Structure 1
Amino acid sequence: MLVAAAVCPCPPLLVPEVASGAAPELDGLRTACDTALGAVLAAEPEVVWVVGPDAEHSSFDDGGTGSFQPYGVDVSVVLGDGGAPEPLPASLTVGAWLLQRAGWAGRARGLAVPDYLEPDLCAANGVRLAQSAGRVGLLVVGEGSARRSLKAPGYLDDRAEGFDAVVSRGLATADADGALSTLDDELAYELMASGRAPWQVLAGAAAGSLDAELLYEDAPYGVGYFVAAWT
């Protein structure tokens, strides 16, 4: 059963060593992520699943490893406390870093979901995760539209702000059956919103009634970032 979930973005710039001189720009975002993940760990889950976007649909056991070497820094992370050193995709590497930063030393597993995964299949994945243990925590990583400004990675798209507004309302109210589960996957793809599939996994997992708090909402660098805690 899902007992709590944290929603965070997953840019490598969250890691101060990667951001370097620009690190202070995201201090508020890091603090919000810490708060959201702290709420999950306070719920005493038996296992924490990190769910994030990737090109392939795959799962990762305790002990998966990630590195920020591709970004020029010697920082490595391990997912959970197991012994299966399988390489993690970039989004789960950031998630593992957030868990490690929070001091989590228990079981952790990872699920990567691609942007082509249909909403009903995302929801089915969420149901499976929620049933994986008696007390399940989720760390769901991904971003809103990357087309929020002229300088955004995907340039400006007038539909981006409205799409992200729906996401914001869904995360702020734990609206798993409405706003999040009905996000248009094709529109999300066009808007480069990497969080769509992970959020719909969350929607599938959150069958019960959870309280929600939206802790951060902004679009630095033209990308929609959201942080929320569902408990």
Structure 2
Amino acid sequence: MLVAAAVCPCPPLLVPEVAAGAAPELEAARAACSDAIAVLAASRPDLLVVVGPAEQSGRGPHAQGAPGSFRGFGVDLDVTLGDAPAGQSGTAPEHGLPTSLAVAGWLLGRTEWSAAPVEGLGVGEPLAPERCIQSGEGIAARADRVAMLVMGDSSACRTLKAPGYLDHRAEGFDAHVAEALGAADVAALKSLDTELAYELKAAGRAPWQVLAGAAEGADLQGALLFDDAPYGVGYLVATWS
């Protein structure tokens, strides 16, 4: 059963070594992510499942200790998804975690996560809502006390310089998602407009709907910790507990 969840954005720029001179601009987002992960630890989970968007090669399950890297962003920095089990060497970092789960691994390492075993799941943008919800239901049934760290950005179309250019629908979409996450509104997340999310480049849509499936019947309370759009991309941090 799902007992807690944290929702965080997943831009590589959250990692100060990647952001370099721009690192201070996301310090508030990093602090909110740390606070959200603290809520997960306080829930005393038996299992933490990290869910994030992934390209084809990164979709599917990722075991505890799976390696990831930020070398593709010009930084010689490797991470793992939680502590690697004793004796596990893992695969080469370039064949490891998708970026969203690598960012999650960095966040967990920053907070020295040791509250429960960790597993990862990379989900693709095309995954239909029904499949997302079914996946979430399966995650919730994995243990008596399951926590989730859900990675994903909102729209990438908030300004002219945003990755997806300016789309006037983006602000309303992001506000709707922020309200749903802040209220732990399962129904609102399940009914997100998938076509609009795709057009607005909202990478978090599928992970959020996996969360909605896992949270059905859990009666969790939500709190929105961060809501901003630096670089024209919507970044949201929320907790459900």
Instruction: Establish whether TM, by shorter chain, passes 0.5.
Output: yes
What residue in structure 2 maps to residue 70 of structure 1? 72
What residue in structure 2 maps to residue 58 of structure 1? 60
2:190 corresponds to 1:181? yes
Report SS of the residue matched to 1:29.
Answer: helix
What residue in structure 2 maps to residue 104 of structure 1? 113
What residue in structure 2 maps to residue 19 of structure 1? 19
Structure 2 counterpart of 1:122, from 132, 149, 154: 132
Structure 2 counterpart of 1:205, from 211, 214, 217: 214
Q: For the residues of structure 1 that align with 2:107 and 2:135, how far apart are their CA atoms?
A: 22
- Larger deviation, residues 103-112 vs 200-209: 103-112
TM-aligned CA deviation for residue 84 of structure 1: 6.5
The residue type paired with residue 8 of structure 2 is C
* Superposition map of 1:1-231 within 5 A: 1-56=1-56, 57-81=59-83, 82=85, 83=88, 85-86=90-91, 87-105=96-114, 106-177=116-187, 179-207=188-216, 208-231=218-241
TM-aligned CA deviation for residue 62 of structure 1: 1.2
Q: For the residues of structure 2 that align with 1:102 and 1:48, how far apart are their CA atoms?
A: 14
**TM-score, length basis structure 2:** 0.93
Moved over 2 A (4+): 80-84
Q: For the residues of structure 2 that align with 1:145 and 1:117, how far apart are their CA atoms?
A: 17
Q: For the residues of structure 1 that align with 2:89 and 2:220, how far apart are their CA atoms?
A: 33
1:101-146 superposed Cα distances (whole Å, 9 cap, x missing partner) = 1111341110111110000100001011111111111000001100
Report SS of the residue matched to 2:174.
Answer: helix
The residue type paired with residue 90 of structure 2 is P
Q: For the residues of structure 2 that align with 1:109 and 1:123, how far apart are their CA atoms?
A: 18
- Sequence identity, in percent? 56
The residue type paired with residue 118 of structure 2 is A
Report SS of the residue matched to 1:217.
Answer: strand
**TM-score, length basis structure 1:** 0.97
Q: For the residues of structure 1 that align with 2:13 and 2:77, how far apart are their CA atoms?
A: 13
1:88-110 superposed Cα distances (whole Å, 9 cap, x missing partner) = 11111001111111111341110
The residue type paired with residue 15 of structure 2 is V
TM-aligned CA deviation for residue 75 of structure 1: 1.6
Structure 1 spans left out of the alignment, 5+ residues = none
TM-aligned CA deviation for residue 80 of structure 1: 2.3
- Give the superposed CA RMSD: 1.1
